[in-house]
Amino acid sequence: MRLAIVGAGPAGIYAADLLIKAERDFDISIDLFDLLPAPYGLVRYGVAPDHPRIKGIIRALYEVLDRGDIRFFGNVKYGSDVTLEELKKHYHAVIFATGAIKDAELDIPGVGLEGSFGAADFVNWYDAHPDFPRTWDLSAKEIAVIGNGNVALDVARILAKQPLDLLATDIPDNVYQGLLKSNATDVHVFGRRGPAQVKFTPLELREACHINGVDTIVYEEDFKYDAGSQLAIDSNNQTRVMVNTLESLRGIEPTGANKRLHLHFFSAPDEILGEGGKVSAIKIERTELDGNGGVVGTGEFREYPVQAVYRAVGYFGSELPEIPFDAKYGVITNQAGRVLDEAGNAIPGVYATGWIKRGPVGLIGHTKADAMETIACILADQNSWWKPTEPEEQSVDQMLSDRGVKFIGWPEWLKIDATEKALGEAQSRERVKLVERQDFLDAAFQKNS
Ligand SMILES: Cc1cc2nc3c(=O)[nH]c(=O)nc-3n(C[C@H](O)[C@H](O)[C@H](O)COP(=O)(O)OP(=O)(O)OC[C@H]3O[C@@H](n4cnc5c(N)ncnc54)[C@H](O)[C@@H]3O)c2cc1C
Ligand SMILES: NC(=O)c1ccc[n+]([C@@H]2O[C@H](COP(=O)([O-])OP(=O)(O)OC[C@H]3O[C@@H](n4cnc5c(N)ncnc54)[C@H](OP(=O)(O)O)[C@@H]3O)[C@@H](O)[C@H]2O)c1
């Protein structure tokens, strides 16, 4: 069997690995495509640079791809460099594992003002995504971050942290230089619900509460719990630990550090206010618990002067050409990984896995369970696979070359990898990321190495 996987993030790589290792009565050869010149998806372009332990998952993903039984095609975009019709010509089936790269919308007045940023865009900047701008406006002294998920914590931490403390990571020079110019003194994180309803994880919250050179401040009025909150605290260990972490900050006097991280709860964003087209304040409505862990508005509004707002209210998947898409949830329409047509019938040969299958929630490890479910469907569906007319491996390389697509195979990726490590070594760092697509291509196709 010849299988195409579109998306070389953890979901795509786990799916390939699981299928190779699955009990099956047929030979298999897998090609893994990604529009980026680098593999690993959000592990490389989402996980914060100061989380080296998580970035370390790249080592395990690398080992899968380095075995030689899965071919990598970087710099190849499904929809333009390769189409569904072409995949049908070369493969028996395809899995889409295209994840999510953009911000969910926050529909409040003022989101279009200068200084109102999507968290995903900021992440793409500091993680050096090649298709996003190289500069970032960090002139704001006071900043609002909306949302109580781990992305909000990542963004707040990177904004509050001393840039020098990031220098040991793989951030490129433009990001370090940008952060050095930051004027940030106060980062306010606003959650619309309470301490027992946060979507953080315990380690990440503890880390955010103890950033070197930053005072973390909580507010007495925000420590309220209803029956729904108590149930969550009693039944969920993670909630209990996080509530304890937040409770332990109550009444602590600030040390007088020159940066502060303020954690506000029961504060729903209502409007981003502006002056001269630029963000000047955030208006929130205070909320209160409804008895079940949900909240309702109180009608009390407050304004906080801020010069930038980061919206970290979740990610959202993107539609792919010729593939059914559920625009409400931002996922490929599917059942257990089988992609469905408008009538709800499984489309032969087309599958989905990872965040584009079940939405942008969950950790890297969760994509493995996803992949298992999708792989089980593929194995059960042998009779409905496509019948490719050009199943030879080389026909794919030929098609891309004929089209002038400069695809990056695994040997080329290894050259890029070595280049990044060499850049790092020169600065006594493990690696420094390349940023520009052209730099990837230069490193990939360099002569004599
Ligand atoms: C900011 C952020 C930080 C995170 N930090 C952590 C963390 O510390 N720990 C943790 O466990 N989880 C973390 N997560 C969650 C984790 O990143 C996801 O669970 C996981 O990456 C989802 O995997 P995926 O393969 O479905 O999608 P992705 O990782 O997004 O991979 C999808 C791949 O598909 C490619 N692609 C998209 N469209 C096309 C196309 N048309 N053609 C070809 N290729 C395409 C993309 O370039 C990408 O490489 C974080 C998420 C975010 C957003
Ligand atoms: N270090 C890590 O392990 C790490 C780092 C980053 C991301 N991740 C994972 O990646 C996934 C995505 O993270 P995420 O932070 O993007 O999403 P998330 O966990 O779903 O959090 C989204 C947050 O935005 C809030 N929100 C949504 N709509 C809102 C609105 N209209 N107004 C105000 N607030 C709103 C939500 O509040 P409600 O709860 O009230 O809806 C929630 O607090 C998560 O599973 C996360 O754990 C992990």
On whether both 119 and 152 belong to a single domain, the answer is: yes
What are phi and psi for residue 37, nearest 5 degrees?
A: -75, -5
pTM attached to this predicted model: 0.97
Q: How does pLDDT run across 393-448, given as a tens digit for each residue? A: 999 999 999 999 999 999 999 999 999 999 999 989 889 999 999 999 999 998 65
Does the structure show a pLDDT above 80 at 107? yes
pLDDT at 64: 97
Q: Which residue has the higher pLDDT, 56 or 10?
A: 10
Q: Is 404 helix (H, G, I), strand (E, B) or coil?
A: coil
**Can you tell me the distance from the alpha carbon of 362 to that of 347, in angstroms, rounded to the nearest whole number?**
26
On whether both 190 and 85 belong to a single domain, the answer is: no
On whether both 157 and 257 belong to a single domain, the answer is: yes
On whether both 251 and 272 belong to a single domain, the answer is: yes
Of all ligands present, the nearest one to the C-alpha of 285 is 2
- CB-based pocket (< 6 A), ligand 1: 6-12, 33-36, 41-43, 46-47, 51, 54, 77-79, 97-100, 123, 151, 154, 315, 320, 354-355, 362-364, 367
On whether both 161 and 279 belong to a single domain, the answer is: yes
Residue 444 lies in a domain: no
Average pLDDT, stretch 184-201? 98
Of 281, 313, 345, which residue is a domain's last? 313
How does strand 308-311 pair with strand 116-118? parallel
Residue with tokens 């299958």, as numbered in its chain: 357
* The pair of three-digit structure tokens given for residue 408, joined into one six-digit string: 């990056």
CA of 361 to the centre of ligand 2 (A): 8
Determine the atom of ligand 1 nearest the C-alpha atom of 51.
Answer: 8
On whether both 201 and 306 belong to a single domain, the answer is: yes
Determine the atom of ligand 1 nearest the C-alpha atom of 365.
Answer: 11
Of 392, 408, 424, which residue is a domain's last? 408
**Can you tell me the distance from the alpha carbon of 230 to that of 292, in angstroms, rounded to the nearest whole number?**
9
Total domain count for the chain?
2
pLDDT at 416: 98
Residue owning the nearest CA to atom 8 of ligand 1: 47
In contact, 22 and 99? CB cutoff 8 Å: no
Q: Of 164, 150, 267, which is closest to residue 206 (Cα–Cα)?
A: 150
Q: How does pLDDT run across 13-63, given as a tens digit for each residue? A: 999 999 999 999 999 999 999 999 999 999 999 999 999 889 889 999 999
CA of 424 to the centre of ligand 2 (A): 32
CA of 30 to the centre of ligand 2 (A): 33
pLDDT at 369: 94
Residue 430 lies in a domain: no
Residue owning the nearest CA to atom 17 of ligand 2: 314
**Can you tell me the distance from the alpha carbon of 432 to that of 365, in angstroms, rounded to the nearest whole number?**
26
35-47 in b/e burial notation, b at 16+ Cβ within 10 A? bbbbbbbbbbbbb
Does the structure show a pLDDT above 70 at 134? yes
Residue owning the nearest CA to atom 37 of ligand 1: 98
Mean pLDDT over the full length of the chain:
96
Of 313, 331, 362, which residue is a domain's last? 313
On whether both 224 and 275 belong to a single domain, the answer is: yes
Residue 226 lies in a domain: yes
CA of 39 to the centre of ligand 1 (A): 10
pLDDT at 449: 47
On whether both 92 and 112 belong to a single domain, the answer is: no
pLDDT at 448: 54
Residue 242 lies in a domain: yes
CA of 164 to the centre of ligand 2 (A): 28
Q: Which residue has the higher pLDDT, 126 or 447?
A: 126
CA of 358 to the centre of ligand 2 (A): 15
Domain of residue 294, CATH code: 3.50.50.60
Q: How far is CA 439 from CA 42, 70, 419, in A?
A: 20, 25, 10
Determine the atom of ligand 1 nearest the C-alpha atom of 204.
Answer: 8
| Pocket residue to mutate for ligand 1, from 13, 17, 64, 98, most atoms within 8 A of Cβ | 98
DSSP states of 200-253:
--HHHHHHHHT-TTEEEEE-GGG----HHHHHHHHH-HHHHHHHHHHHTTTTPP
Q: How does pLDDT run across 321-359, given as a tens digit for each residue? A: 999 999 999 999 999 999 999 999 999 999 999 999 999
Average pLDDT, stretch 313-323? 98
* The pair of three-digit structure tokens given for residue 298, joined into one six-digit string: 């109180």
CA of 50 to the centre of ligand 2 (A): 19
> Structural domain of residue 392, as residue ranges?
2-101+317-408
In contact, 273 and 108? CB cutoff 8 Å: no
CA of 397 to the centre of ligand 2 (A): 40
* The pair of three-digit structure tokens given for residue 434, joined into one six-digit string: 């390349």
Give the type of residue at 242.
Answer: M
Residue 134 lies in a domain: yes
Neighbours of 184 (CB within 10 A): 21
On whether both 110 and 78 belong to a single domain, the answer is: no
Residue 324 lies in a domain: yes
Domain of residue 63, CATH code: 3.40.50.720
On whether both 321 and 309 belong to a single domain, the answer is: no
On whether both 291 and 331 belong to a single domain, the answer is: no
Of all ligands present, the nearest one to the C-alpha of 73 is 1
Q: How does pLDDT run across 135-184, given as a tens digit for each residue? A: 999 999 999 999 999 999 999 999 999 999 999 898 989 999 999 999 99
DSSP states of 249-263:
TTTPPP---SEEEEE
On whether both 35 and 133 belong to a single domain, the answer is: no
Average pLDDT, stretch 94-103? 97
- Determine whether the shortest distance from the Cβ of 194 to ligand 2 is under 6 A: no
SS3 labels along the chain: CEEEEECCCHHHHHHHHHHHHCCCCCCCEEEEEECCCCCCHHHHHCCCCCCHHHHCHHHHHHHHHHCCCEEEEECCCECCCECHHHHHHHCCEEEECCCEEEECCCCCCCCCCECEEEHHHHHHHHCCCCCCCCCCCCCCCEEEEECCEHHHHHHHHHHHCCHHHHCCCCCCHHHHHHHHCCCCCEEEEECCCCHHHCECCHHHHHHHHCCCCEEEEECHHHCCCCHHHHHHHHHCHHHHHHHHHHHCCCCCCCCCCCEEEEEECCEEEEEEEEECCEEEEEEEEEEEECCCCCEEEEEEEEEEECCEEEECCCEEECCCCCCCEECCCCEECEECCEEECCCCCEEEEEEECCHHHHCCCCCCCHHHHHHHHHHHHHHHCHHHCCCCCCCCHHHHHHHHHHCCCCCECHHHHHHHHHHHHHHHHCCCCCCCCCCCHHHHHHHHCCCCC
